[in-house]
Structure 1
Amino acid sequence: MASKDYSIVEYYAEHEGYRCGYCKSTDTNYSHGMWAHNLTVTDYQDLIDRGWRRSGLYCYKPTMNLTCCPLYTIRCAALEFKLSKSQKKVLKRMHRFLSHGNTKSNEGRSETPEIMDVCPVMDIPGLHEKALKAERDAESLKVLSVDSTITEKTGHAQSPSQDNCIPGPTLQSPRGENKDQPISKTGAYVDITSMRPPCKKAKFLRLERKQKKLLSQGFSEKEVESMTRRGKSLGNKEKSLENFLNEPLPPNPAHRLEVRLVRSNPPSQELEQTYQEAYQVYLKYQMAVHGDSAEKCTLHQYTRFLVKSPLKVVLVAVASPEFKRSADESYALFVRYQFHIHQEKDDKWTYPAFEEFLVDSPLAPWQPQDGPPQGYGSFHQQYWLSGRLVAVGVIDILPRCISSVYFYYDPDLGHLSLGTYASLRELALTQSLYQHAPSLQYYYMGFYIQTCPKMRYKAGYTPSFLLCPETYQWFPVEVCRPKLEVNKYCRFNDDLAATDCDSEININEVLVLRRHVAMPYFLYASKYQLEPEDLREVEQYARLVGMSCARRMLLVRN
């Protein structure tokens, strides 16, 4: 069996404190880590459902009960998503900007900046050396043979969803509720004012104003009539996310926004063409938002952490030079973003660092017949404004979700709340892909930190859920937040008898890779004289990744 059929990981047992990118403490950030040489999308799906997350080829799992800023995995149920008032404002602001080239005075400028995540692994001691060693060892980690004791049950078919999502309260009153409000037969609060039909005269006045506005924007009377008729056909239905995103622009809009989804691993033709442009955006973002220096934000770093993916190649596509052609522009945008938004110095993000962080990915493309049209794997969602690359969203499309890896944008457009806009775009993409892959129903927004103001916006995507760090079940964010106000680390599952069933370790069934041969641990232990430390390290690895993954992934042993 070839290497491409297995995830191949190298676990790092060392566990020392390092700098935290959130609270800026110098040595109170703790996590477990491993290098993913190859990673199937199914294995990575199961890993992120246990609190793991990738940054380039490096995968890490925060030590939740020890680290200074516990990072809770957060996801939104995309099929049940409901737009908030503030999110609608962002969509309307973008539409107004595209239509007329302006927004209301100071609109969006006073809002708290939004960040998807910082680059939390950049300060891990020895990470650069690990990356160099992994590149040198890549050829020696090919699987040339598989021991006969490994049966077909260790195959890599997509595992069924193991989501144990604990439902929230069936009766939830809205914020600012009136306790004297009546309750309907279904148990929901009823807003009496919403039951009153609008005044007929006011209704027609609004329609008339809307028609005049459309005419003033350059639409013909026939187009206005068609849009009005379409609006009537919607009846009293609330506008969906798709309706907002597809709102028609006037015939000659001030700007045109093009959203491109390009595969990053292996690099697609589109990715090659825009590689330099994407890197320039990244450079600009890191310098502006994170305060990174240009020297730190290298193209190599960008490729390693935001382009390279460990997701293993199943359907091999021919790489073309298109992505590289725009890499400079992408890099400049990234560095500017890091400097203005994260206050990171110019010399922090070199071009190689940019590649490591935003281009490299361990995830292999997989394109089954019953999957999304573009398949599973790592992608860049690029935002082009009137022909200029202004933002890039790095995402992984997995069997049960779209996972946001990172997002960066031109700081000059901060008033458009591009972080929120891109998240809504990625939510819409999740809803769209569900039509092709019914198991793909969630949008993962990375990590949530209760004490980080720039991350609180993630809880505003309704309904959202946080992952319990002990039982790995999902709980409504509304249930979790009061607990986090009391303790920064907490178990969300109130049932103390509930356990993580996937952490019941059978060391003999853990798969390892030694000298190009894949074998179960019991055979490896019988063939080689091992130190007691090896057993402890493998047990720790299996407990962290879960036995489901430990039985499928190959753990490198030297």
Structure 2
Amino acid sequence: MADPGPSVIEVIGPQRSSCGYCSGRKTSRTFGCWAVRLTVYDYQALIDRGWRRSGSYIYKPVMRRTCCPQYTIRLRASDFVPSKEQRRVQRRWDAFLRGERSAGRTDAAPPHSPSPRKQPQRPAASASDAAALADALRHAIAAVVAAGSLPPCEYRPPALKPPRVGKKAAGAALCAPVGPALVAQARKADPSVAASAESVAAAVAAELSTRLAATSMQRAEAAGGFVNLFTAPGPAGAAAGDARAAGEGPHGGQACGGAAEGAAHAQREGETGGGASERPERSGGGVQAGKRKQAEPQRLAGASGREQQLEVTLVPSRFDEEEYQLYKRYQMAVHGDSESECGRSQYKRFLCTAPFAHVPPTADPQAPACGFGAFHQQYRVDGQLVAVGVVDVLPRCLSSKYFFWDPDLASLSLGKVGALTEIQWVRDAAAGLPRDSPLQYYYLGYYIHSCPKMKYKADYSPSELLDPFEYTWHRYDAVRPLLDARAGRFVPLSDALRGGSDAGGAGAAPQTDGDDEDPGREGWAGEEGSILRQVVSLASNKVHMPLEALAKQFQLSGEGVQGGGGVVEALSGVVREWQAWAGPAGVSMALCLG
């Protein structure tokens, strides 16, 4: 294997920001670094110690102090056993591609055709129809609970009634305030529930849309926390209920982790990453896609009986206008972002920029056909872009970073389809590599036990959680009782499984008061210092640190700091000291501090 050269990072340090999971103000604690250059091998080592990236910003939660502890979660792809719900999602997607099922998508209305909202509605549901609808609603709620969007609870769904005149239910035959009602009931059972009324209504609407065959209704949509039922077919964009829509990584939470958007260094806009020059890898049926103009709105018929062609291709991570337009539609329809919140610079920084240099298979025989690096996996149906998965292909895994899809296809649960496709990609890649290849895993980002939107990640079984201090992996089923007992607080997994007690107080509530963004010597002696030692322990003899900045930032003793900055031989002793505290590591990394 060719020498990849050193990684170069700039340590930013501890960060505090508002939490996108529990909405706490300045309660999210992370330790951040800016990756000037990062090899895929070093990043693999970092994510196996609990780190993640947002563009070129890499960060790690400060687990004992943050409000919502985040555990790295992964799955050995060869061991994956799909659940009944996951098999149902795959069958529904396959039926759509065979032309046996409609996704509810329609053309833009012709210039002189009447608006769907102005079409006459059928009479309100009969008594028998009302009973069937109530039963369908109960089953939809049960599916949302099973997916992890709501905690288990005995939910009493609100009654479906003809709507009053208003924007939330314009043109609907029936409606109900499903979101507010279910969230209120969930929070009575579990005050830590962070789900919003809008996201719950969207999830229920998406599930309900698949259960209307025995009723007079043809579609369900969500708006402002309400679920609205319609007797006329139409676009299903409002029924955006896939649990994977929630954000971080592929599946849930916030799009940009922790301090990534808050740190000044993360505001820089870099060039699009990846650097791969190979042609896109074809990982699905169909011919290789070339450059395309932005697709005009068109119908994906599905139920017309015409089989549709799915094409999945892996392309280097870089800005693409067609992808960006799909991303913007997704963010605005599913997450309620304004157009100004979906700017090109934010999109490039978060989803296109990467600190990796591409490693082709000619440089590393353990690499798959696409090589190692940052990629976008494009999903096209009959040539039209319907979804994009943002992934990193690393020496031991495919790490799923984000997934966005056409909101008009919300009823098909494309987020889950994407996760199943990515798991199969790992299996296929491993099958084409030597038997001893380490590329065996699918990483799903962070798992937050107290966040209902994130719990479904563990449904990809048998998943494992990382102990962020001992760097050991534990089956989710084994640690779930420990997480349940701690009610959202940090659990040192290895120590807890041994029956020990953590010195840091696993059961202690996170510290959220006080201004300690510049922690000083005492702060660095705690978990932040441990994380810093962890970073420095990844260094060998190529460590470049302006010593004045080092002394100022990390409160080291003045011994050996003479020389007014620059690289000094005496620094090697400091590095050895850090390494002695942090333990051995076989990764070469260069650090630029200050």
The answer to whether TM tops 0.5 is yes
Are positions 1:305 and 2:435 aligned together? no
Match of 1:467 in 2: 466
Offset, 1:97? 1.1
Q: Equivalent residue for 2:493?
A: 492
Q: Which deviations, in whole Å up to 9, do the C-alpha atoms of 1:53-108 show, x marking residues without a partner?
A: 01110101011111111111100110111121111101100011111252598218
- Identify which range, 402-411 or 3-12, moves more after superposition: 3-12
Contact 1:468 1:475 (8 Å CA) reproduced: yes
Do 1:20 and 1:120's aligned partners in 2 also have CA atoms closer than 8 Å? no
Number of the residue aligned with 2:49: 50
Shift of 1:280: 1.0
Q: Assess, with a 3 A threshold, how the Cα gap between structure 1 residues 505 and 11 changes in structure 2: closer, same or farther.
A: closer
Alignment counterpart, residue 412 of structure 1, candidates 404, 408, 414: 408
**Equivalent-residue separation in structure 1 for 2:315 and 2:564 (angstroms):** 45
From 304, 310, 313, the equivalent of 1:260 is 313
- Amino acid corresponding to residue 8 of structure 1 in structure 2: V
Q: 2:243 corresponds to which residue?
A: 113
* Residue range with higher mean Cα deviation, 479-488 or 99-108: 99-108
- TM-score (normalizing by structure 2): 0.56
| 2:592 corresponds to | 556
Distance in 1 (CA, whole Å) between partners of 2:457 and 2:408 is 23
2:97 maps to: 98
- Does 1:397 find its partner at 2:393? yes
The one-character-per-residue Cα deviations of 1:514-552 (angstroms, maximum 9, x if unpaired) are 59xxxxx9999675559xxx9999899979997526x51
Cα separation, 1, equivalents of 2:574 and 2:308: 56
Secondary structure class of the residue paired with 1:390:
strand
Q: Give me the whole-angstrom Cα distance separating, in 2, the residues matched to 1:32 and 1:293.
A: 29
Cα distance in 1 between the residues matched to 2:38 and 2:316: 16
Q: Distance in 2 between matches of 1:59 and 1:21?
A: 18
The CA deviation at 1:513 is 2.7
* 1:372 paired residue among 368, 375, 378: 368
Please give the per-residue CA displacement for 1:464-516, whole angstroms capped at 9, x wherever unaligned. 1001122110001011211111112101112359999995987995642359x
RMSD (Å) for aligned C-alpha atoms: 4.2
1:506–1:94 CA distance, 2 compared to 1 (3 A): closer
Tell me which residue corresponds to 1:7: 7
> For 1:106-142, what per-residue CA distance to the aligned partner results, in whole angstroms no more than 9, with x for missing partners?
2187966333142234765753x31466869xxxxxx
Kept in 2: contact 1:49–1:472 (CA 8 A)? yes
Partner of 1:232: none
Q: Which residue of 2 aligns with 1:429?
A: 425
Question: In structure 2, what residue type is equivalent to 1:63?
Answer: V
Paired residue secondary structure (1:513): coil
Aligned length in residues: 380
Aligned partners of 1:504 and 1:547 also within 8 Å: no
1:368 Cα shift? Answer: 1.7
Asked if 1 retains the 8 angstrom alpha-carbon contact of 2:359 and 2:372, the reply is no
Distance 1:507 1:309, change over 3 A: closer
Equivalent residue, structure 2, for 1:386: 382
Secondary structure in 1 aligned to 2:26?
coil
In 1, the alpha carbon distance for the partners of 2:335 and 2:363 equals: 36
How far residue 17 of structure 1 moved from its aligned partner, in angstroms, is 2.1
CA distance in 1, matches of 2:538, 2:452: 42
Shift of 1:255: 2.8
Which residue in 1 is equivalent to 2:510? Answer: none
- What are the residue-to-residue correspondences of 1:121-520 with 2, within 5 Å? 121=257, 126-127=262-263, 129-131=264-266, 253-264=306-317, 267=318, 275-313=320-358, 367-437=363-433, 438-487=437-486, 488=488, 489-493=490-494, 494-495=497-498, 496=500, 509=540, 511-513=542-544
Question: 2 CA distance for matches of 1:544 and 1:260?
Answer: 45
Q: Which residue does 1:68 correspond to in 2? A: 67
User: Could you tell me whether the CA contact under 8 Å between 1:480 and 1:492 is conserved in 2?
Assistant: yes
Higher mean C-alpha deviation, range 102-111 or range 255-264: 102-111
Report the Cα distance in structure 2 between the residues aligned to 1:276 and 1:462, rounded to whole angstroms: 36
- Which one-letter code corresponds to 2:8 in the other structure? I
Counterparts of 2:326 and 2:580, CA distance in 1: 39
The alpha carbon displacement at 1:369 in A equals 2.8
Bigger mean CA deviation after superposition, 436-445 or 419-428: 436-445
Q: Deviations over 1:417-472 (max 9, x none)?
A: 11111001000000011123321111000011112222222111111100112211
Give, in whole Å, the separation in 2 of the partners of 1:122 and 1:106. Answer: 35
Higher helix share: 1
Secondary structure of the corresponding residue to residue 548 of structure 1: coil
Match of 2:139 in 1: none
- Closer/same/farther in 2, CA of residues 508 and 135 from structure 1, 3 Å limit: closer
Equivalent residues of 1:503, 1:543 under 8 A apart = no
Task: Name the counterpart of 1:22.
Answer: 21
Deviations 1:154-178 (A, max 9, x none): xxxxxxxxxxxxxxxxxxxxxxxxx
Q: Which amino acid aligns with 1:490?
A: V
What is the rounded CA distance, in whole Å, between the counterparts of 2:415 and 2:574 in structure 1?
39
Asked whether the 8 Å contact 2:539–2:589 carries over to 1, the reply is: no
Within 2, Cα distance between the matches of 1:312 and 1:545?
28
Counterpart of 2:408 in structure 1: which amino acid? D
Assess if the C-alpha contact under 8 Å between 1:17 and 1:30 holds in 2.
yes
Contact kept, 8 Å, 2:40 with 2:356, in 1: the verdict is yes
Question: What code does the residue aligned with 2:590 have?
Answer: L
CA 1:297–1:123 in 2, change beyond 3 Å: closer, same or farther? Answer: farther
* Conserved 8 A contact 2:310-2:382: yes
Kindly indicate whether the alpha-carbon contact (under 8 Å) linking 2:102 and 2:303 is maintained by their aligned counterparts in 1. no
CA contact (8 A) 1:70 1:449 kept: yes
For residue 331 of structure 2, give the secondary structure of its aligned residue in structure 1: helix
Separation (CA, whole Å) in 1 of partners of 2:367 and 2:260: 36
Q: Report the 3-state secondary structure (helix = DSSP H, G, I; strand = E; otherwise coil) of the residue aligned with 1:427.
A: helix
Letter paired with 2:481: P
Q: 1:31 to 1:540 in 2, by over 3 A?
A: farther
Structure 1 pair 537–91 and aligned structure 2 pair: CA distance change class (3 A): farther
Q: 1:504 to 1:73 in 2, by over 3 A?
A: closer
CA–CA distance in 2 between the matches of 1:507 and 1:283? 38
Gaps of 5+ in 2: 104-207, 212-219, 221-238, 272-283, 285-301, 504-529, 547-555
Between the aligned partners of 2:338 and 2:467, the Cα distance in structure 1 is 36
| CA displacement at 1:291 relative to structure 2 | 2.4
Which residue number corresponds to residue 200 of structure 2? none
> Helix, strand or coil: the match of 1:478?
helix
Q: What secondary structure, in the 3-state scheme, does the structure 2 residue paired with 1:393 have? A: strand
Q: Distance in 2 between matches of 1:537 and 1:464?
A: 39
Q: CA deviation at 1:10?
A: 0.6
Q: Is the 8 A contact 1:35 1:134 kept in 2?
A: no
**Distance 1:395-1:529 versus aligned 2 partners, 3 A rule:** closer
Separation (CA, whole Å) in 2 of partners of 1:536 and 1:453: 47
Aligned-partner residue type, residue 263 of structure 1:
P
